[in-house]
Chain A
Amino acid sequence: MENINNTYRESIISEATTLRWEVGENFHDSLMESIYKNASEIAAHSVTKKNKQQNHTFDQKLDKIITSRMFGFPAMFIVLAVVFWVTIIGSNAPSAMLASVLIDKIHPWLKEIAAAISTPLWISGLLIDGAYLGMAWVVSVMLPPMAIFFPLFTLLEDFGYLPRVSFNMDSLFRKAGAHGKQALTMSMGFGCNVAGVIATRVIDSPRERLIAIITNNFALCNGRWPTQILIATIFIGGAVPGYLAGIASAGAVVGVALLGVVLSLVVSWGLSRTVLKGEASTFSLELPPYRPPRILRTLYTSLIDRTAIVLWRAVIFAVPAGLVIWLVSNITIEGISLAEYFINWSNPFGLLFGLNGVILLAYIIAIPANEIVIPTILMLTVLTLGMNSVGAGDGVMFELESVNATADIFKAGGWTLLTGINLMLFSLIHNPCSTTIYTIYKETRSLKWTTVSALLPVVMGFIITFFVAQIWRLI
């Protein structure tokens, strides 16, 4: 009995082995296909659809216009321009209000309390001038634009317009080896690179998603716009005759932003042909029907999911940065602060790239947020020059109401037109802020790609500023 069973089993196993080779390599696929086919047949029998013909033709007409050669691109630019304009204009007042409350009111008030309960100077300096001010700065500069930009963007998405933008842009991005949806994640990056990186989740092809993540940093984010505008106004606007100043400086800022777009395409192209060649790639893009946006829901989700999370992450990183900034300017060895040591030592390197030691130090200690780069630069410049009449003390970041006063500080620091131009370039092309780097790690779960995303832009930035500086001096 046992024997017969065994022979029987053996024969089944050998039969199975032969069949394994016979069914061929397409067996799994055919199985899948038949499952889909069955399901669709069952659905066709048992599901009835309401006639939605009317909606359908409306969608078709709208699609024809939005994706046409005549209206497609102009409509896209106008929509994006309006979104940015509303963001910039709309966030001015709340930003100023937040700054006046957090920085001008609460900050002195905290200092007073600290003095009243006779806290040691270094503790109040570290915690209030360092940590608190770092956080206050990030919140007041970052919160209002994000709270306006993200809901607007989400509304467009909800309405169904953004997928059409991807559709329009896909042929351009395809040539760069990327996905049309990268147009969206890039636009999102103009608001905040953290949000841009998170938004790449809509790209379901692994290679194109990595490309979108690595190049997102080339979208000039919210935190860098004020730097660009300030430097352009002072240096570009100051280099041309007065009546051209406004146009020239605005043109320079837009030029830098466009350079970012071009760079992100070029880098996408390079990445998809070198290091990312082996990653899997598939394409899919659904164009959902248009529908009226659900405004309240959108407000809620974009404020909670996007703004709050991004802001929280930024604050977490800004607090230690504030501490470090205060410490390097206040710890002194033989009467000279750590910051000054570093600045004196790195100044020659900085000059090689048309920058200076102050800018290099500012970009190192202000990694957590681009928003605090300018306040840090101002504080450090004043610190190294020993200008006691301006600013609020060593290690206390500040900004000035008047552009001219700011310009005077820069000029006293030895800045030239070249410094201005290269600072604008370096502000565009440098490592992402630490919040973004952390987010990239969370999204990719890969140290390798996080390192690439962090180092690639900063290396590019140094190469570009180096050549600009040398050629500039040559001419």
Chain B
Amino acid sequence: MNNPLETLIIGTIILFVLCVLFWPGKGILANWKKLQKQSLKILIEDALKHLYDFEDKNISSTLHSLSGYLSISGDEAAKIAQKLKDISLIDIHNEKLLLTPDGRTYALKIIRVHRLWESYLADETGVKEKDWHLRAEEKEHYIDQEEANILAARMGNPAYDPHGDPIPTASGDLPVKKGKHLTEAAVGKVYKIVHIEDEPIAIYSQIVAMGLYPGMQLKIVEVTKEKIKFVAEGEECVLSPLIATNLTVAQIIIPEKIKKDFKTLSSLKIGEEGEVVGISRACRKQQRRRLLDFGIVPGTKIISELQGFSKDPIAYKIRGTLIALRKQQTDYIYIKK
């Protein structure tokens, strides 16, 4: 028999090496697979998306912005641009890169797939909000139009993605743009968040962490150069203008019943009764459907009935049935007493 200490050390090293190689998502094998996916096709498609994005914002894109967006050198960016020009997807005028109609159609197809995939991740899987964009960014290059149409049909042809962006139709139609940046909102008016820009990621995840979501109603309290203050779902929020420009809002003429003195179901004490006012928009497809299945719709009376030896979950009496819900769910349910 070998020296046990030696065997132990060798075993530990082998185990470590295997972990480094094969760890799901982070190992060398996983990274290598990711690298393999970087190809010319992807660069071209990403370039088109960049051009479309800038066109949409009325900024002209240049070789410089392109190389920055794709994180490649200027020379490589020039090669990509030339390639795009050769297959007449773009025109180049005075150093400005412009999409041809064909290029725009191609870009919209990619965007359609991207937004559809984000909707799919949000509605049908448990992938975290901050990962939707990154995953869709990878996936968009591998789904063809036919698959995209099947995917769309399966989800009931959604019109908007979870960030509030419209999903181009199969024929490339988009609605007329509306709404404005939160920084341009007027004090005292009520707005609805119609879009949350998902790039840069750092700012997006900050917004997500604050619990803001598309469809949320805001009442603007104060707008200055330093901060924007508003009330959302009964809580006062303050944003810096830098973050606020990532939010697009549209004014609502007749606000939905402003949920004034509403509370969440989780705030109900044992033995108390509440009446459901609504379910938060942040609670999406499957989770939402489950709550609806239990008959949790506006007007339903709920009694908080039973607490086990931990505070979570709590059993509620809903329509004569005892149902245990976790706090994460009851935070989404709005009630009045």
A residues contacting B by CB (< 8 A) are 17-18, 20-21, 23-29, 32-33, 36-37, 40, 49, 59-60, 63-64, 67-69, 72-73, 167-168, 170-171, 174, 180, 207, 274-275, 277-289, 351-352, 463, 466-467, 469-471, 473-474
Contacts and interface: CB of A to CB of B under 8 A. Distances in A.
B160 A24 contact: yes
Contact of A67 (B288, B308, B325, B328): B308
A288 B288 CA distance: 22
B293 to A, nearest CB: 8
Contacts of B24: 274-275
Interface stretch (B32-40, B90-98, B120-128, B222-230): B120-128
A25 B166 CA distance: 9
A229 to B, nearest CB: 29
B315 A287 contact: yes
Q: Which of A60, A171, A207 neighbours the largest number of chain B CB atoms within 10 Å of its CB?
A: A171
Given A25-B159, A280-B126, A167 B290 contact: no
19 contacts: A21-B166, A24-B159, A25-B158, A25-B164, A25-B214, A36-B292, A40-B297, A63-B306, A63-B322, A68-B309, A72-B309, A167-B324, A277-B126, A280-B125, A283-B328, A284-B323, A287-B324, A288-B322, A470-B4
Nearest to B156: A28
Contact of B322 (A278, A281, A287): A287
Contacts of B8: 467, 470-471, 474
A285 B281 CA distance: 23
Nearest to A32: B292
Contact of B309 (A21, A36, A69): A69
A352 B7 contact: yes
B323 A287 contact: yes
Contacts of B287: 282
Contacts of A278: 121, 125-127
Specify the main secondary structure of chain A where it touches its partner: helix
A170 B307 CA distance: 12
Interface string B282-302: 000011111011110111100
A356 B24 CA distance: 32
Given A17-B173, A167-B308, A280-B125, A37 B322 contact: no
Interface in B291-337: 292-295, 297-300, 305-310, 312-313, 315, 319-326, 328-329
A36 B160 CA distance: 24
A285 B313 contact: yes
Interface string B249-278: 000000000000000000000000000000
B164 A167 contact: no
B15 interface: yes
Contacts of B295: 36, 40
B200 interface: no
A474 to B, nearest CB: 5
B202 interface: no
A282 B322 contact: no
Contacts of A37: 297-299
Nearest to B315: A287
B286 A171 contact: no
Nearest to A475: B4
B330 to A, nearest CB: 11
B308 A171 contact: yes
B179 interface: no
A284 B127 CA distance: 19
B176 to A, nearest CB: 8
B11 interface: yes
B317 to A, nearest CB: 9
Contacts of B164: 25
Contacts of B298: 33, 37
Q: Which of B24, B295, B297, B298 neighbours the largest number of chain A CB atoms within 10 Å of its CB?
A: B297
Contacts of A168: 308-309
A36 B297 contact: yes
Contact of A466 (B11, B25, B289, B306): B11
Contact of B127 (A27, A63, A69, A277): A277
B175 A21 contact: yes
Nearest to B298: A37
A175 B156 CA distance: 34
Contacts of B4: 469-471, 473-474
Contact of B326 (A207, A277, A283): A283
A17 B309 CA distance: 54
B326 A351 contact: no
Nearest to B215: A26
